[in-house]
Amino acid sequence: MVKICCIGAGYVGGPTMAVIALKCPSIEVAVVDISKPRIAAWNSDQLPIYEPGLDAVVKECRGRNLFFSTDVEKHVFEADIVFVSVNTPTKTQGLGAGKAADLTYWESAARMIADVSKSDKIVVEKSTVPVKTAEAIEKILTHNSKGIKFQILSNPEFLAEGTAIEDLFKPDRVLIGGRETPEGQKALQTLKEVYAHWVPEERILTTNLWSAELSKLAANAFLAQRISSVNAMSALCEATGANIQQVSFAVGTDTRIGPKFLNASVGFGGSCFQKDILNLVYICECNGLPEVAEYWKQVIKINDYQKSRFVNRVVSSMFNTVSSKKIAILGFAFKKDTGDTRETPAIDVCKGLLGDKANLSIYDPQVTEDQIQRDLSMNKFDWDHPIHLQPTSPSTVKKVSVVWDAYEATKDAHGICILTEWDEFKKLDYQRIYENMQKPAFVFDGRNIVDADKLRDIGFIVYSIGKPLDAWLKDMPAVA
């Protein structure tokens, strides 16, 4: 029986391994992590991540051919294939600070693999790491190998949170990069056979190591660029009276462009986009390509601009001050159907409003109070470390309360900011909400999900990203 071990039971490792276990009953899959609470949660009814469809997959396989454990060394020792899916934070100090990936966790995982291995292994890079990381890891492994042969493969993950299970069941493609030696090709074939249990052969692409790694960064940079492009257009729409949804639709009907990923928003978030672009920028700079680096940097700059533009709209609309006003924040996760808050635009928007002394009342169906307080008190790059190494006991931000109901959050509020496109926010009783708010009552829709005309009929002053402005807002121009 082939044995797989995955180091890192996070958003990538957990769902990916669960689906491999489901689709390959003949393979034994162990997911290991240094975090005891995380593994305990994977072994309980309350999984550590919220992902539609994940519960059912885990229930079916756990204890059969899927195991979650903190015994990292035992499972690595036994495995034929080791996936490494550990944190790759942005460096905060030293060479490449603010851009380059900090490979501390990857390096320690590689050294541990070399230490405990007594048989040949395939080591698969699964987390997003910069181009040429595989080479560094290969060096660590071979220099500590004691005669054992390691083959390193890069198998970047393309799943999106909220649709992870669907994406894993029906991937657009599976990409596997390997060495162009006979041993490298053999390893590549072994991993290909795992995916071939459910993915059509023509969708399993094989490349050299560096192409696979760069493709991941490139794909995320292209996707993020679409959002920054449409967000840049949204500012122009507001200034001219065009409607971004009409513009996006018209642009997307061109088959060369396509309709997906053209929704204007308060900004993109998530664990990948910003980090991957920063890596790309760093790699370009290191390779003497400052113009290319500058080009990609702009995607992040527009994203930051979009978030501060939103905050400015809120403040300027409300008589240029939100000091001591109650602002309801609906949605904190970086997108719907996930409880993940990594790099969520809500962090910068909330910090911006707190900077103007607002009182925030936050509701998100999947994010806990502890997580929100942690996010609002954490430094920029601290989020991407194993949880037990993150700053402990966050000092609670006093002007923030977290509630478990949208009606509670909006009660007596002066304004509402919708920051995540949760379906339930479309179906709220806005008449009831209006009646319980201070007047004039404002809605700032950062995701374009409410029916602005209906809300205006109720009496709200509504701001929708990239749409023709209310007369009220026109008189109060917001310049970032």
275 binds, among ligand UDX, ligand ADP, none (CB under 5 to 8 A by kind): none
Q: What is the contact mask toward ligand UDX in residues 305 to 344, using x (rule: CB under 6 A)?
A: -----------------------------xx---------
Nearest approach, Cβ of 142 to ligand UDX (angstroms)?
A: 29
Nearest approach, Cβ of 167 to ligand UDX (angstroms)?
A: 8
434 binds, among ligand ADP, ligand UDX, none (CB under 5 to 8 A by kind): none
The residue at minimum Cβ distance from ligand ADP is 10
Candidate residues 10, 15, 184, 270; the one interacting with ligand UDX per rule CB under 6 A:
270
Q: Which is nearer to ligand ADP, 7 or 24 (CB)?
A: 7
> Can residue 263 be called a binding residue for ligand UDX (CB under 6 A)?
yes
Q: Give 170-237 as a DSSP string.
A: S-S-EEEEE-SSHHHHHHHHHHHHHHTTTS-GGGEEEEEHHHHHHHHHHHHHHHHHHHHHHHHHHHHH
Nearest approach, Cβ of 285 to ligand ADP (angstroms)?
A: 24
Site for ligand UDX in 220-239 (CB under 6 A): 220, 223, 227
Nearest approach, Cβ of 348 to ligand ADP (angstroms)?
A: 20
Question: Using CA atoms, how far apart are residues 25 and 134, in angstroms rounded to an integer?
Answer: 29
Comparing CA positions, the residue from 333, 274, 263 lying closest to residue 301 is 274
50 binds, among ligand ADP, ligand UDX, none (CB under 5 to 8 A by kind): none
Q: What is the contact mask toward ligand UDX in residues 149 to 178, using x (rule: CB under 6 A)?
A: --------xxxxx-----------------
Nearest approach, Cβ of 156 to ligand UDX (angstroms)?
A: 8
Residue type, 194: V
Contacts with ligand UDX: how many residues (CB under 6 A)? 19
Residue type, 269: G
Residue found under tokens 């009552």: 441
Q: Which is nearer to ligand UDX, 283 or 299 (CB)?
A: 299
Nearest approach, Cβ of 353 to ligand ADP (angstroms)?
A: 28
Q: Which is nearer to ligand ADP, 109 or 441 (CB)?
A: 109
Per DSSP, 122 falls in state: E
Q: Give every strand in the sheet of 204-208, ordered side by side.
A: 66-69, 28-32, 3-7, 81-84, 121-125, 150-154, 174-178, 204-208
> Can residue 268 be called a binding residue for ligand UDX (CB under 6 A)?
yes
* CB-based contact 280:273 (threshold 8 Å): no
72 binds, among ligand UDX, ligand ADP, none (CB under 5 to 8 A by kind): ligand ADP
**N-terminal to C-terminal alpha carbon distance within the chain:** 59
Question: Using CA atoms, how far apart are residues 70 and 401, in angstroms rounded to an integer?
Answer: 35
Nearest approach, Cβ of 37 to ligand ADP (angstroms)?
A: 10
Q: Which is nearer to ligand UDX, 223 or 286 (CB)?
A: 223
- CA–CA distances in Å: residue 22 to residues 25, 59, 236: 6, 10, 48
Show the DSSP H helices in 241-344 as ranges. 244-252, 273-286, 290-317
Q: Which is nearer to ligand UDX, 14 or 269 (CB)?
A: 269
Could you give the 3-state DSSP secondary structure of residue 77? Answer: helix
Question: Using CA atoms, how far apart are residues 36 and 17, in angstroms rounded to an integer?
Answer: 18
Number of Cβ atoms within 10 Å of the Cβ of 272? 25
Q: Which residues are catalytic?
A: 272
Note the residues at the interface with ligand ADP (CB under 6 A): 7-13, 32-35, 38, 72, 85-87, 105, 108-109, 127, 271, 386
Question: Using CA atoms, how far apart are residues 153 and 131, in angstroms rounded to an integer?
Answer: 13
> Can residue 269 be called a binding residue for ligand UDX (CB under 6 A)?
yes
Question: Using CA atoms, how far apart are residues 442 and 346, in angstroms rounded to an integer?
Answer: 18
Question: Using CA atoms, how far apart are residues 247 and 453, in angstroms rounded to an integer?
Answer: 19
Site for ligand UDX in 99-158 (CB under 6 A): 157-158
Part of the chain binding ligand UDX (CB under 6 A), chosen from 2-10, 182-190, 263-271, 317-325: 263-271
Name the site residues for ligand UDX (rule: CB under 6 A): 157-161, 220, 223, 227, 261-263, 265, 268-270, 272-273, 334-335
